Structure 1
């Protein structure tokens, strides 16, 4: 296959739906219950949670899954008490954020700032770093992902008007949000869900994650700014130079846009910021768990609806739309949970842990943790949903960490970085392909540009993981 035809095939590539992939994994693990022998570790109480006793493994009789068990597995996944709690939490948070977005507070605030940068020559050099920081904060705080798509039609023409190219227009919101996602401090969809699954206090360890967020955001600013400056000096060096020359778009953020950024919208952003501060305080000082966090987000949604002047029907419809947006992720969570329940009931999960721990036995915990990063990155190609991937991997990775000397907090850190970094490039991510489709940038062009720069994010991840292991991050 020629290079051109290979690139064309990659551009046209359409990955199977994640639900189909998870169902395939369910069938695969059901088959493994007939092959892998049963085994069990003893669990002991340590610091308020059950952990595996490394020296207690013994063989037990397995209980292979038959057709009935396989068919019942998805149902068990949906009715599992912890899955119900996680699903409810995600529905509430997504609905609340949808209400906030309906008020226009986020979108209008960013759009007005973009207009300011376009009109002011003095501010133009700060366009890339300022907006990457803004989007990174949103990725870190509430897991901005699909929401990035709506900003692409604004930032691509704005970047062109400022003398950059389409890649910069995509990178500012997309890589900015992704950098925040990878270095998330309080993202409820990844950090919150993963910590709940790992049975560690919610939002604990946030101090170290702030440093990680600063590092990932700095990398994002550096790679986009250095590229942007080079293209600004010589536009012909852009890999999308011909594409951008053929564009016939008008700047979305133009002088005709006189819709005001209201005091009510500003009030919503202030309330939201105060809510995040309360969230951190509640989780770290008041022992809040998933239910309390969900209640806080519900309250933020209600307050935002009132301040934004939404009618009851508008707020309710926005809430439902937000729930619809995460429906796919919710199904993935339930199905992922069903895999865990299936292999647990079949008595093979501890055998899998035993085999994995033996495979890396004798290695330094840093090496074990870095291998976990590779595993999480690869799994993200198959399960690009952050919360879904957490539900699939954390129940196995957390006890594996206990066995090889990696703290559960570090396991969560490894998960969020393995998930967040690869999100920027994988063609199996609907968000990635939608962002590129909106910008009319071919995936093959984007991947060729981003792949070498992604190594800087992995360098940050490798260093952060090593520090976490050496310091006993918990």
Structure 2
């Protein structure tokens, strides 16, 4: 091979996150031409009028009496009290109501418009990300992060991975209890410089945060957005099968931490062994450009106060999500208030403080746009009316299976469906009324179906482009192929663990 050819080969890079998403977007549009369109009718409880509303695929609504008899007639096995108590907030699919529809292919105009609609639909999380970036900008301009990192590095010297393990485990705890996922975006700008200063690469930071969240949500215990809503939609208590999920959570987190530890130790001993060794000079410059452990700004009262204000926002945010039904609007309000307080405390002066906030927000515009484009893929699939068809065919595949095969194939199918329906609560309310009753026909508990759904969707979310991973990678400037290379062995181990534990749950 000539030197020119070698140089060209070396310069060939993996596509950016935007390109990957647009490729997936085009594939999704092609699928709307190939996969037959179809839909289930939906049933929703109208709490104001204490009645059911049957929603047809054409949007036509029919009022029905809110009674157990109506549910029995529709073969909906969700108990009436689950609707009345408000446990089922989204419309559920009505078993046996699937019917084919006229094909609704998504052409050039629909594909071109989808990212715009995706950004509009994702405005809540986009505003949250931009306000977070603004807060980070003020902290960076004042040297607060650099001073804090230096102080923390001195305290944790020789025990750096203990910090990684504790942070990852706390995030996993948040994931399993209340579904901490999108909220973790706030942690990357904080933890990245700390982990880099400890001698690790950016992949350790991503793995500690993202896999902590992924393991937690995959093996949820009390997560209202997945296992609770799925159990309610399946007509069972979320406590059924919890023991297995707790055991699997502990084993899965231990495996994940050991995997990260081995990689982190290898990279710390020899930085050239890093999967992202070529990118690390650029990443270190981005996060540690002004960081010199010997010449950092003093960690004085002003900087300590700013860091305390910023860090206190996180327990407040977590409390609000868990207990006050907060979502992105409330979380964004919190960080707007924090940003204003930081600008006041910074001592930078009005103009410089505001400009540092705006510069920080600008740094995360690409992340915000990626979130919108990822949502565009779901819009294309929804408008193409093929998601229900995929669910209908999936239910036909597992019908009649039994034992371990039943649970294993379910998990694989839920992994596949998770690409097209990345919303955990959306997939639960759509699929459980259809698939959960199949467990009755083969004398298996419905809790097995709930676990298979949770394990399957959570497993695929580790790499699914329609989820959070591309926004995460854009935030830390790491390419998607490097993440795949790093995570695939761990995904294989977690898959084996999940299948084994589903088999155990099937037999007990």
Question: Shared topology, TM-score over 0.5?
Answer: yes
Find the counterpart in structure 2 of residue 452 from structure 1: 489
Separation of aligned partners in 2, 1:147 and 1:169: 16
1:25 to 27, 30, 51: 27
Separation of aligned partners in 2, 1:470 and 1:74: 50
Contiguous gaps of at least 5 residues in structure 1: 160-167, 284-291, 380-387
Find the counterpart in structure 2 of residue 385 from structure 1: none
Find the counterpart in structure 2 of residue 126 from structure 1: 159
| Contact 1:182-1:216 at 8 Å conserved across structures | no
**1:243-322 → structure 2 map (5 Å cutoff):** 252=291, 254-260=293-299, 261-283=303-325, 292-309=326-343, 313-314=354-355, 315=357, 322=364
The Cα of 1:256 is off from its aligned counterpart by 1.3
Distance 1:253 1:199, change over 3 A: farther
The Cα of 1:176 is off from its aligned counterpart by 0.6
The Cα of 1:281 is off from its aligned counterpart by 0.8
Distance 1:229 1:151, change over 3 A: closer
Higher mean alpha-carbon deviation, 359-368 vs 300-309, is at 359-368
Find the counterpart in structure 2 of residue 65 from structure 1: 104
Distance 1:336 1:237, change over 3 A: closer
| Contact 2:147-2:297 at 8 Å conserved across structures | no
**1:328-343 → structure 2 map (5 Å cutoff):** 328-343=370-385
The Cα of 1:213 is off from its aligned counterpart by 6.7
Distance 1:225 1:272, change over 3 A: closer
Distance 1:231 1:148, change over 3 A: closer
Separation of aligned partners in 1, 2:401 and 2:102: 32
Separation of aligned partners in 1, 2:232 and 2:336: 29
The Cα of 1:282 is off from its aligned counterpart by 1.6
Separation of aligned partners in 1, 2:266 and 2:492: 20
Q: Secondary structure at the match of 2:458?
A: helix
The Cα of 1:329 is off from its aligned counterpart by 1.4
Separation of aligned partners in 2, 1:169 and 1:104: 22
Separation of aligned partners in 1, 2:366 and 2:228: 23
| Contact 2:169-2:253 at 8 Å conserved across structures | yes
The Cα of 1:130 is off from its aligned counterpart by 1.0
Find the counterpart in structure 2 of residue 404 from structure 1: 435
Find the counterpart in structure 1 of residue 208 from structure 2: 176
| Contact 1:373-1:414 at 8 Å conserved across structures | yes
Distance 1:301 1:77, change over 3 A: same
Higher mean alpha-carbon deviation, 8-17 vs 254-263, is at 8-17
Separation of aligned partners in 2, 1:76 and 1:240: 37
Contiguous gaps of at least 5 residues in structure 2: 44-73, 345-349, 437-445
Find the counterpart in structure 1 of residue 258 from structure 2: 222
TM-score by length of 2: 0.60
The Cα of 1:255 is off from its aligned counterpart by 2.1
Separation of aligned partners in 1, 2:474 and 2:361: 25
| Contact 1:118-1:124 at 8 Å conserved across structures | yes
The Cα of 1:297 is off from its aligned counterpart by 0.8
Separation of aligned partners in 2, 1:389 and 1:37: 16
**1:23-422 → structure 2 map (5 Å cutoff):** 23-32=25-34, 36=36, 40=40, 43=43, 46=78, 47-48=82-83, 49=88, 50-54=91-95, 56-57=96-97, 59-60=99-100, 62-65=101-104, 71-72=109-110, 86-104=121-139, 114-116=149-151, 118-119=153-154, 123-134=156-167, 137=170, 141=180, 142-145=182-185, 148=188, 155-156=195-196, 158-159=198-199, 168-184=200-216, 216-226=252-262, 235=269, 239=273, 252=291, 254-260=293-299, 261-283=303-325, 292-309=326-343, 313-314=354-355, 315=357, 322=364, 325-343=367-385, 349-364=387-402, 366-372=407-413, 374-375=415-416, 379=419, 390=422, 395=426, 398-405=429-436, 410=451, 411=453, 414-420=456-462, 422=463
Separation of aligned partners in 1, 2:304 and 2:429: 46
Separation of aligned partners in 2, 1:433 and 1:77: 17
Separation of aligned partners in 2, 1:300 and 1:102: 16
| Contact 1:40-1:59 at 8 Å conserved across structures | yes
| Contact 1:93-1:294 at 8 Å conserved across structures | yes
| Contact 2:115-2:372 at 8 Å conserved across structures | no
The Cα of 1:269 is off from its aligned counterpart by 1.3
Alpha-carbon RMSD across the aligned residues, in angstroms, is: 5.4
The Cα of 1:182 is off from its aligned counterpart by 0.7
Separation of aligned partners in 1, 2:391 and 2:320: 38
Q: Choose 1 or 2 for highest CA Rg.
A: 2
The Cα of 1:371 is off from its aligned counterpart by 0.7
Deviation string 1:203-249 (CA, Å, 9 cap, x unpaired) is x97999998776554334322334555787xx5797459x79x99x9
Higher mean alpha-carbon deviation, 40-49 vs 266-275, is at 40-49
